[in-house]
Amino acid sequence: SMRAMQVRAVEAVRDWNARIEAEHGEDAVYALCSHGDIIKSLVADALGLHLDLFQRIHVDPCSLTVIRYTRLRPFLVRLGDTGDLAALAPRETPDTSGTAEVGGGAGAP
């Protein structure tokens, strides 16, 4: 079922997050490649969107979707991006609080 697929995908991502963090630290980044429906189900989970509505999410083939998982919650950073990815490089002083910036992060760095 679609729900079972989403559960397996979310569990797999969280398992990889734990493994990679244990080996490389909490700021480590990795790439996961998958079918569009699996990516959309992970995005729906990150947004707290009911799985019945995940088909409202559009992900282009060969695009990049970035979800940053923190100890508190996941954050959707990019959805279906095919452009400049330089902003995804790790920050010199990473934000590890797991909180969202007020104002959407439009302020000075």
Q: How many domains does the chain have?
A: 1
Q: Is residue 63 part of a domain?
A: yes
pLDDT digits (tens, 9 = 90+) for 20-79: 999 998 888 888 889 999 999 999 999 999 999 999 999 988 899 999 988 889 999 999
Per-residue pLDDT at 87 exceeds 70: yes
Q: Is residue 103 part of a domain?
A: no
Give the pLDDT of residue 20: 93
Q: What is the pTM of this model?
A: 0.75
Q: Is residue 106 part of a domain?
A: no
Give the pLDDT of residue 102: 60
CB 80 within 8 A of CB 59: yes
Cα torsion at 62, 45, 76, 37 (round to 10°)? Answer: 10
Q: Is residue 23 part of a domain?
A: yes
Q: Is residue 77 part of a domain?
A: yes
Give the pLDDT of residue 109: 46
Per-residue pLDDT at 10 exceeds 80: yes
> What is the domain range of residue 39?
2-96
